[in-house]
């Protein structure tokens, strides 16, 4: 079998990443330059700062990806880049670099949807995923449920109306002074607390659809915490545990309902919040109880990375689905 090496570039938010993947499966390198320490002082990602850091780092990150893979520019067959969705300034850095690199090296350019990349992370590590499948993509910028009739064919059946799950984690963590990024900070605090000692709403769980809303949960958590603080004896660990439980229960139950409705054989999770231990545990339990196979990437492939972009681009390369050199970036997903 002829080997196809694809360079992937990912700059949709605050990670500058480059990777080289062989035949859509074998990761030869996967380099990530994280900006967490820079944005921690602000309690969240500052788009302008993220864009400037991408400009500073992208050439070095790509160079390191080639070095780790032991390859040169001549060894790759294509250049793949995330061009939607994400922070527009950050995306433009990656797209501009990828277009220049493809032109200079005379390699075809492949545009990759960031959400499809997250989903494909599962296929980098898991063989023989059965279809149809339901996939929960859950991160700082996205919370969506997708129906996948077969590999590469998917449609969004529900998404958040306001805050994404990861965004809600970040905002509540900042309000409770737990740190940044919010997901790991809330999870760590929740491990020392007990859910149920205060009650937060399970938003949209009473609706017969696959939509999400976490802005109301975030506000309820903040208001409840203010009341508890005035009364005294408040435990930030208990609040973290209840907030995490309320959010995770909605994600899991909506996903299980969708799997039943669409007669799914498998459930997939993807995105940064898919690394949350409570979500993995509850989704695993409910999936096994209902007879579904459950898949999610290893922790390193849940967060933004370029291996998922390079891997996702392999099928497009085989089909000759290349992007023009006037490729643009878009902040919204549009369609899959």
User: What are the extents of the domains in the chain?
Assistant: 5-119+302-319, 129-298
- pLDDT tens digits, 153-203: 899 999 999 999 999 999 999 999 999 999 999 999 999 999 999 999 999
CA angle (305 as vertex; 299, 311 as ends), nearest 5: 100
| Three-class DSSP category at 301 | helix
Asked if residues 173 and 179 have their Cβ atoms less than 8 Å apart, the reply is yes
Report, as an integer, the average pLDDT of 207-230.
Answer: 93
Q: What distance in Å separates the CA atoms of residue 123 and residue 119, rounded to the nearest whole number?
A: 8
Q: Is the pLDDT of residue 335 over 70?
A: no
Asked if residues 146 and 114 have their Cβ atoms less than 8 Å apart, the reply is no
**Given this model, what pLDDT does residue 336 score?**
65
Do 5-119+302-319 and 129-298 share a fold? yes
> What pTM did the predictor assign?
0.93
Neighbouring residues of 336: CB distance < 8 A, sequence distance ≥ 6: 113, 115, 116, 146, 154, 155, 156
**Token pair 């990777």 in the structure block, residue:** 19
- pLDDT tens digits, 44-57: 889 899 999 999 99
At the fourth CATH level, which superfamily is domain 5-119+302-319? ATPase, nucleotide binding domain (3.30.420.40)
**Token pair 């980098």 in the structure block, residue:** 124
- pLDDT tens digits, 303-327: 999 999 999 999 999 999 999 999 9
How high does pLDDT run on average in the chain?
Answer: 95
Q: Is the pLDDT of residue 84 over 70?
A: yes
Cβ atoms within 10 Å, residue 9 = 27
Architecture of domain 129-298: 2-Layer Sandwich (3.30)
> What is the phi/psi pair of residue 252, to 5°?
-70, -50
**Given this model, what pLDDT does residue 334 score?**
59
Q: Is the pLDDT of residue 236 over 80?
A: yes
Asked if residues 28 and 56 have their Cβ atoms less than 8 Å apart, the reply is no
């Amino acid at each position: 079998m002829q080997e196809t090496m694809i360079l992937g570039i990912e700059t949709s938010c605050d990670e500058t990443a480059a990777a080289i993947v062989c035949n859509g499966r074998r990761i030869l390198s996967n380099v990530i330059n994280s900006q967490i320490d820079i944005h921690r002082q602000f309690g969240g990602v500052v788009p302008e700062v993220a864009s400037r850091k991408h400009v500073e780092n992208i050439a070095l990150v790509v160079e390191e990806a080639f070095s780790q893979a032991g390859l040169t520019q001549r060894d790759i067959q294509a250049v793949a880049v995330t061009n939607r969705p994400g922070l527009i300034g950050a995306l433009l850095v990656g797209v501009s670099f990828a277009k220049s690199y493809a032109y200079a090296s005379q390699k075809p350019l492949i545009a990759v949807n960031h959400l499809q990349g997250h989903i494909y992370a599962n296929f980098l590590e898991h063989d023989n995923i059965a279809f149809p499948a339901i996939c929960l993509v859950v991160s700082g910028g996205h919370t969506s449920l997708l129906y996948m009739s077969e590999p590469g064919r998917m449609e969004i059946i529900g998404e958040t109306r306001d805050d994404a799950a990861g965004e809600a984690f970040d905002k509540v963590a900042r309000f409770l002074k737990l740190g940044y990024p919010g997901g790991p900070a809330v999870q760590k605090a929740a491990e020392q607390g007990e859910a149920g000692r205060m009650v937060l709403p399970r938003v949209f769980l009473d609706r017969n659809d696959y939509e999400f809303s976490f802005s109301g949960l975030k506000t309820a958590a903040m208001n409840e915490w203010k009341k508890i603080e005035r009364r005294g004896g408040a435990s930030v660990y208990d609040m973290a545990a209840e907030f995490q439980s309320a959010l995770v229960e909605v994600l899991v139950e909506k996903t299980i309902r969708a799997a039943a409705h669409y007669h799914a054989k498998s459930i997939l999770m993807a995105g940064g919040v898919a690394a949350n231990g409570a979500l993995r545990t509850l989704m695993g339990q409910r999936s096994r109880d209902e007879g579904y196979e459950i898949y999610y990437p290893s922790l390193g492939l849940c967060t933004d990375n370029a291996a998922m972009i390079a891997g996702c681009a392999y099928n497009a390369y085989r089909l000759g689905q290349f992007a023009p050199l006037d490729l643009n970036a878009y902040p919204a997903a549009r369609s899959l």
